[in-house]
Amino acid sequence: MYLNIQDMKKHLIIVLIFFGSSIAFAQNNPDKEDWIQLFNKKDLTGWETKIKGYPLNDNFGQTFRVENGILKACYDQYEKYDEKFGHLFYKDSYSYYRLRVSYRFTGNQVPGGPGWAIRNNGLMIHSQPASSMGLNQDFPVSIEVQLLGGIGTGPRPTGNLCTPGTNVVMDGELIKRHCINSTSDTYDGDQWVEIEVIVLGDSLITHIVEGNTVLSYTKPQIGGGNVNGYEWTDFADGTPLKAGYITIQGESAPTGFRKIELLNLEGCTDPKAKNYKTYFIKSNNSTCLY
């Protein structure tokens, strides 16, 4: 079909109007979700390493690395684990967000790893900064979303809660027990498992495994034990944990991560914001607004 100059101009104007409208709609669409890819599938850009006994960013034995688009906690360069608890910290601090991770366990535990750490890893949220970790500190003060794999001896849920240097509140009671199991299924073998954590400051944290809500709690705060070599004294026991860093653990179980993404919810709880949303989640026959 032949178009003269005037027809071409008309078509161009229509295209530009449509394109501009599409951009405006995307920018003003309150339902648009802009997930941030914390892991670029190429390298460790944006992340800091801290391994017990080693200075910040001394990635001993290339414990944390990226291979074939997968972020890995690896131990092929270790002769013995020797309590070299490692953590990989993302550079930015967050308060209100959704964190979504796809992970799996691969291979055998490194020799010398603790018995409790077989097919055991974790996502630390509301963590202290990497720069504030003591040289010989084993775990950051944080809330741990524990990742466990089945070991063929019965139920072993994932998405559990552990509390290094912290406490939480459940059903109105301050919980000082170090770990609390979720209600998730057990995932054996090397299958990929998706876990999501909804973090709303210090008001509500919810763990979701493969689309199912498996645990929720409120009022994360400084307190409790289960951290050695701790030198960070900026906050007293009972201080609310309203924000912090996200870290990936390395505690002797080879683990792969193919997706680590975050949806920042800052502003979603402000009725004046264009991305304001009211979320509901039901757990234990109660409805929580967030």
Please state which of the ranges 29-38, 131-140, 198-207, 243-252 shows the lowest mean pLDDT: 29-38
When computed from its CA atoms, the radius of gyration of the chain, rounded to whole angstroms, is 22
pLDDT of residue 273: 53
pLDDT at 25 over 90: no
Q: What is the pTM of this model?
A: 0.84
Do 230 and 164 meet the contact criterion of CB atoms below 8 Å apart? no
Distance (Å, whole) CA 71 – CA 65: 6
pLDDT at 5 over 60: no
- Please report where in the chains the tokens 């970790």 appear, as a residue: 133
Domain ranges of the chain: 36-289
| Cβ-based neighbours of 251, under 8 Å, separated by 6 or more | 85, 86, 113, 114, 117, 120, 121, 122
pLDDT of residue 53: 97
- CATH 1.10.10.60 holds for 36-289: no
> Is residue 166 very low, low, confident or very high in pLDDT (cuts 50, 70, 90)?
very high
**Rounded average pLDDT over 261-286:** 61
216-221: Cβ within 8 A, 24+ apart: 216/281, 216/283, 216/288, 217/161, 217/168, 217/169, 217/170, 217/175, 218/168, 218/169, 218/170, 219/168, 219/169, 220/126, 220/143, 220/166, 220/167, 220/168, 221/166, 221/167, 221/168
pLDDT of residue 279: 52
Side chain identity at 71, as an amino acid letter? L
pLDDT of residue 29: 56
pLDDT of residue 286: 36
pLDDT digits (tens, 9 = 90+) for 123-151: 999 999 999 999 999 999 999 999 999 99
CA-nearest of 55, 137, 114, 47 to 251 is: 114
Q: Quote the DSSP letter at residue 45.
A: T
CA-nearest of 89, 74, 37, 41 to 260 is: 37
